[in-house]
Amino acid sequence: MFDDLTAPSRRSLLAMIGRAGGSLAMYQAMTSLGHAADSQFSGPPKLSGARPGASVLVLGAGIAGLLSAYELMKAGYKVQILEFQGRTGGRNWTLRGGDTVTEIGGATQTVGFAPGNYLNPGPWRLPYHHQTMLHYCDELGVELEPFVQLNNNAFIHSAKAFGGKPQRHRELVVDFNGHVSELMAKALNQGALDQQISKEDKEKLLVAMREWGVLDKSDRYTSSIHVADRRGYDRAPGGGVGGAPIASSVNGLSDVLDSKVWNLIGFYLEYVMQQTMFQPKGGMGRIGDAFVKKVGHLIRLNTRVTRITQDDKGVAAEWTDAKTGQTGTARADFMVCTIPASILAQIPIQVSAAKQAAIKALPYNSSVKIGLEMKSRFWEKKYHIYGGHSFTDQAINLISYPSMGFFSKGPAVLLGGYPFGLGAYMLSGMTPEKRIEEALRQGSVLHEEYRDEFLKGVSVAWSRQPWIMGCCAEWTEQTRAAHYQNLASIDGRIVLAGEHVSYYGCWQEGAATSAIDAVTRLHQRALAA
């Protein structure tokens, strides 16, 4: 219907609909114009006209805190940020040669990577529909490059499949589709589904099974050059006299089932895991750094907030300097608190009982990332794997190959392990040296040259990071119903923001959209005061 309307621009049309039908009508209209469905982001907040002298205290210098401070500063507020760590960015973090990581228990690692090499121990990829993050990268001049997500030539390994021999992703997916379509075709040919579907649909479905599964003339999934055109060859096509390809042999159904390849087919179909995916050039930490260029002068580092209070005149945060032991109290008219709930649950904060309960109802899951610097890119040269991930059912869960610097000489860094769940607890509970040893042992199953090529390693066990003691907040449907709105509401002069105050948990997009929502509401509150 909108295609017929040529006179008003899309923007003025949307404004008209917004006025007439309210924001839901506007949202639905945007969706039908193809704008909004994949993101709630509709542009940065347009805050302006802060009352002269009005001030906001921001706790935490992660993405949520930095974004809040940036937008409030632009709106005219006097802003101060208190940050516990000696660095900015929070979970937005890149480790490079010379950096140190100290964990609960005191173990300290110094990163030994060569110049230019890095590990993103936390966030590492940005889906194309995380429009808020992409917007700020654009606005702040953070250069993005492709992050290779699906690599059909990477491995899938399971100790219980193929005698423990890693298989190429491509071969298992094609075999899985082939066997499933053969069985489906069999059921259709035997009339087993005649009650369920019409004759016409049955014919179409049979065609689909033959084409999707590359079935032979008798509707069977068998080795052939046509199948090899998908799953690969024993001898690839070439030129000249020996140019003819030789087909590869398909795997049997039960071997393919043992590999549980459907887990990964499903994984790459998840909305947040689809291409196109991006990463900042030089490391994810570049995003935090870019915000700091704007608001760095407002940040007090090494400042551990120990108590949060408010009254009808303003807010106060008591703090202790983590380096010098000096104490103090920061005051302002309003507060945006982005301290992770795992930590905030341990800090006295003067908010309603309902908000206190919400803060304490948010367990944090655990994760580990292990970076391994290797002498050369053997995964490219020998295995022809350029970016993407190989999966294993061992505790390390995956090996991920760098998405940049292809074909370059010299050392490069692999992500040598990234487990959640039990594997994460198991690896976190080890010393940093033992984690590297485990990553090398388990990784050697996929790449035999691992130990010969290994140079330096570093690991971050998220549950042992003193400033968060976990990876991300873990909501359930029950806790969402009981606590989410209580966590997000403005309480007097305090609003909470961060990944944990979003439905985009464990994504920077969640931290960013939460911050935008929080400062927008706080600004309205401040103007109304």
Partner 1 sequence: MSLTAAPRLILLAAAVVAFAGGTRPAAVSAQDKPGNKAAVEPASAGRELYEQICQACHMPDAKGGMGAGTGVPALAGNAHLADKTFVIARVWHGYGGMPRFGALLSPEQVAAVTTYVRSHFNAYPDPVTVEEVAKVADGAPPQVACNCTH
* Shortest Cβ 48–partner 1 spacing (Å): 34
Residues 309/347, Cβ–Cβ less than 8 Å: no
Count CB atoms within 10 A of the CB of residue 327: 11
Give all strands of the β-sheet with 412-417 in edge-to-edge order.
167-168, 155-157, 388-392, 398-401, 412-417, 368-374, 454-461
Helix (H) or strand (E) holding 213: helix 199-213
Interface with partner 1 (CB under 8 A), residue from 9, 326, 476, 524: 476
* Shortest Cβ 67–ligand FAD spacing (Å): 8
Instruction: Find the binding residues for ligand FAD in span 501-520 (CB under 6 A).
Output: 506-511
Instruction: Find the binding residues for ligand FAD in span 43-72 (CB under 6 A).
Output: 59-65
Q: Is 392 exposed, middle or buried (0-12, 13-18, 19+ CB in 10 A)?
A: buried
Q: Is residue 62 part of the contact set for partner 1 (CB under 8 A)?
A: no
> Can you spell out the DSSP letters for 473-519?
B---HHHHHHHHHHHHS-BTTEEE-SGGGSSSTTSHHHHHHHHHHHH
Helix (H) or strand (E) holding 118: strand 118-119
Instruction: Find the binding residues for ligand FAD in span 322-351 (CB under 6 A).
Output: 338-340, 343, 347
Q: Could you say which of ligand FAD, partner 1, none residue 82 binds, taking C-beta under 5 to 8 angstroms by partner kind?
A: ligand FAD
Query: How many residues touch partner 1 (CB under 8 A)?
Result: 74
Q: Could you say which of partner 1, ligand FAD, none residue 64 binds, taking C-beta under 5 to 8 angstroms by partner kind?
A: ligand FAD
Say which DSSP state 89 is in.
Answer: B
Q: Is residue 423 part of the contact set for ligand FAD (CB under 6 A)?
A: no
Question: The tokens of 108 are what?
Answer: 């300290």
Instruction: Find the binding residues for partner 1 in span 326-365 (CB under 8 A).
Output: 339-348, 360-365
CB nearer to partner 1: give 117 or 259. Answer: 259
**x/- map, 425-464, ligand FAD, by CB under 6 A:** -------------------------------------x--
Instruction: Find the binding residues for partner 1 in span 133-162 (CB under 8 A).
Output: 158-160
Interface with ligand FAD (CB under 6 A), residue from 41, 70, 73, 83: 83
Interface with partner 1 (CB under 8 A), residue from 425, 445, 489, 517: 425
Instruction: Find the binding residues for ligand FAD in span 149-188 (CB under 6 A).
Output: none
Cα Rg of the chain, angstroms: 27
Q: Is residue 272 part of the contact set for partner 1 (CB under 8 A)?
A: yes
CB nearer to partner 1: give 46 or 323. Answer: 323
Q: Is the dihedral of CA 491, 492, 495, 496 positive or negative?
A: negative
Q: Which residues contact 467 (CB under 8 A, 6 or more apart)?
A: 84, 85, 90, 340, 343
Count CB atoms within 10 A of the CB of residue 185: 22
Q: Is residue 84 part of the contact set for ligand FAD (CB under 6 A)?
A: yes
Strands 155-157 and 167-168 turn out to be: antiparallel
Distance CA 396, CA 400 (A): 11
Q: Could you say which of ligand FAD, partner 1, none residue 338 binds, taking C-beta under 5 to 8 angstroms by partner kind?
A: ligand FAD
CA-CA distances (angstroms) from residue 189 to 199, 201, 217, 247, 253? 11, 13, 13, 28, 20
Q: Which range touches partner 1 (CB under 8 A), out of 164-172, 204-212, 218-226, 472-480?
A: 472-480
Q: Is residue 63 part of the contact set for partner 1 (CB under 8 A)?
A: no
CB nearer to ligand FAD: give 173 or 472. Answer: 472
Distance CA 418, CA 423 (A): 9
Instruction: Find the binding residues for partner 1 in span 117-136 (CB under 8 A).
Output: 123-125
Helices (H) and strands (E) in the chain, counts: 17, 24
* Shortest Cβ 18–partner 1 spacing (Å): 28
* Shortest Cβ 512–ligand FAD spacing (Å): 8
Q: Is residue 239 part of the contact set for partner 1 (CB under 8 A)?
A: no
Instruction: Give the interface with ligand FAD as residue ranges (CB under 6 A).
Output: 59-65, 82-85, 90-92, 122-126, 304-305, 338-340, 343, 347, 367, 369, 462, 467-468, 471-472, 498-499, 506-511
